[in-house]
């Protein structure tokens, strides 16, 4: 039975524990071979196609995609365990993250047979990468106010507008764009929205890299200059974009990346002379991990735990930022080699509470779903 608002947590089986140890052993071998250096927020900031291919070779991409679509037919809980270990190990995950986390399950739910055959085997093989085309310069978490337009054309649609904060668009192959295909109805702002699969290499698409304060480059502005999208690349149903986006955001908001983005830093802090300062954060990680694991179990049952996912996202990103703040305060004396990781965590912290929906917007969503507003 559910516990309050949250799906009941599931016990970890022996099979899941064995899988967890397999991933840990793999990561240890990769670190010893110099394949990667553990870092924070790696699902957003560390794009490494070679590492992604190694994960594909292990069968750890497209895990929940059915075998008939080129995946591995594993459970959400198996994928959850693999994802937890990769995040906790600070591995570079950005090259496949969006495609594996939310695009693949969205294709399974809303995609046509042609789209499933085209993209799902390539996602599982690490051969195609995706971005998310939701936010706009004047439409962040308020997606109902998007101004990107889709206009009917012969054999398809012309898409015009600008998306922003599109992670990895300068590397990615495709992204799924939310556009308005009908005039805004002020009595139902969520109506008239649709989604399209857009080729980021199309000449009518301009990708402008946004350089962060620390010099890193993972965000982008994407300008759609009346780019043509054929009918077979309409995603889902025209006019059903809001329902589809809401479903997609359940995957984006509930995963362990909303809890473990700064876990490598927490782990180092717990091994430092300042261990006591980090212990409360460890307790919060354990609690939020239980919540997130329960949501993964609910998704496996075909449920859509939107409210629980939003709550985990709000609490989890607050925790990630607090870990960074604690590490910055104590500066891990005796662990000076980690100061660059601390600095990176502090710089990333403002983004924790923005991506996937700002805390303020999510607070409103949670209140409305609980009947409080």
8 Å CB contact between 105 and 303 = no
Assess whether pLDDT exceeds 50 at residue 1: no
Q: Residue 328's closest CA among 275, 269, 283?
A: 269
By the 10 Å C-beta count (0-12 exposed, 13-18 middle, 19+ buried), 25 is classed as exposed
Q: Write the pLDDT tens digit of every residue in 198-222.
A: 999 999 999 999 998 778 888 999 9
Considering only residues 365 and 88, tell me which one the structure prediction assigns the higher pLDDT.
88
Assess whether pLDDT exceeds 90 at residue 185: no
> Which region among 16-30, 247-261, 322-336 has the lowest average model confidence (pLDDT)?
247-261
Pairing mode, strands 156-164 and 130-133: unpaired
For residue 3, the model assigns a pLDDT of 46
What is the token pair recorded at 141? 């978490």
Q: Is 265 helix (H, G, I), strand (E, B) or coil?
A: helix
Q: Write the pLDDT tens digit of every residue in 232-277.
A: 999 999 999 998 987 776 666 667 888 899 999 999 889 888 899 9
Q: What is the DSSP string of 310-354?
A: HHHHHHHHHHHHHHHHHHHHHTTTT-GGGHHHHHHHHHHHHHHTT
Assess whether pLDDT exceeds 80 at residue 287: yes
Assess whether pLDDT exceeds 90 at residue 143: no
What is the rounded distance in angstroms from the CA atom of residue 327 to the CA atom of residue 272?
10
Assess whether pLDDT exceeds 60 at residue 353: yes
Q: Quick one: CA dihedral 352, 354, 360, 364, positive or negative?
A: negative
Considering only residues 28 and 309, tell me which one the structure prediction assigns the higher pLDDT.
28
For residue 20, the model assigns a pLDDT of 96
What is the token pair recorded at 104? 């693949």
What is the token pair recorded at 356? 């996937």
Q: Residue 158's closest CA among 233, 245, 222?
A: 233
Active site residues: 252
> Which region among 149-158, 265-274, 331-340, 355-364 has the lowest average model confidence (pLDDT)?
331-340
In b/e form, how buried is each residue of 159-176, taking b as 16+ CB within 10 angstroms?
bbbbbbbbbbbbbbbbbb
What is the rounded distance in angstroms from the CA atom of residue 283 to the CA atom of residue 266?
11
Name the E strands within the chain: 130-133, 149-153, 156-164, 174-180, 193-199, 205-211, 217-230, 234-235
CB neighbours of 129 closer than 8 A, spacing ≥ 6?
49, 95, 96, 98, 99, 168, 171, 172, 173, 174
Q: Residue 133's closest CA among 181, 179, 191?
A: 179
Q: What is the mean pLDDT of residues 113-125?
A: 98
């Amino acid at each position: 039975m559910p516990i309050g608002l949250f799906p009941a947590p599931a016990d970890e089986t022996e099979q899941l524990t064995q899988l967890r140890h397999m991933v840990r052993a793999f990561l240890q071998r990769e670190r010893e071979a110099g394949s990667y250096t553990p870092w924070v927020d790696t699902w957003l900031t560390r794009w490494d196609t070679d590492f992604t291919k190694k994960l594909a070779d292990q069968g750890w991409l497209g895990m929940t995609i059915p075998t008939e679509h080129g995946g591995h037919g594993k459970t959400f809980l198996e994928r959850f365990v693999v994802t937890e270990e990769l995040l906790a190990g600070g591995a570079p995950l950005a090259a496949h993250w969006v495609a594996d986390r939310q695009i693949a399950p969205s294709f399974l739910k809303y995609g046509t047979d042609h789209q499933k055959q085209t993209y799902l085997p390539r996602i599982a093989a690490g051969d195609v990468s995706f971005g998310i085309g939701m936010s706009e310069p004047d439409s962040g978490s308020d997606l109902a106010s998007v101004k990107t337009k889709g206009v009917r054309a012969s054999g398809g649609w012309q898409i015009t507008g600008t998306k922003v904060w599109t992670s990895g668009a300068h590397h990615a192959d495709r992204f799924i764009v939310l556009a308005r295909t009908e005039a805004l109805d002020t009595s139902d702002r969520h109506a008239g929205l649709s989604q399209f699969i857009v080729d980021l290499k199309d000449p009518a698409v301009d990708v402008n890299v946004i350089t962060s304060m620390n010099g890193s480059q993972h965000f982008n502005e994407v300008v759609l200059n009346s780019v043509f999208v054929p009918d077979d690349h309409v995603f889902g149903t025209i006019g059903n974009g809001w329902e589809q986006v809401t479903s997609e955001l359940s995957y984006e908001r509930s995963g362990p990346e909303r809890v473990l983005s700064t876990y490598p830093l927490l782990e180092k802090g717990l091994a430092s002379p300042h261990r006591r300062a980090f212990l409360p954060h460890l307790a919060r990680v354990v609690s939020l991990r239980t919540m997130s694991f329960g949501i993964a179990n609910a998704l496996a049952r075909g449920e859509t735990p939107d409210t629980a996912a939003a709550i985990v996202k709000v609490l989890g990103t607050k925790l990630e930022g607090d870990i960074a703040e604690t590490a910055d305060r104590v500066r891990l004396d005796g662990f000076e080699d980690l100061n660059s990781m601390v600095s990176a965590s502090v710089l990333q912290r403002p983004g924790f509470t923005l991506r996937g929906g700002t805390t303020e917007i999510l607070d409103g969503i949670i209140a409305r779903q609980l009947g409080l507003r």
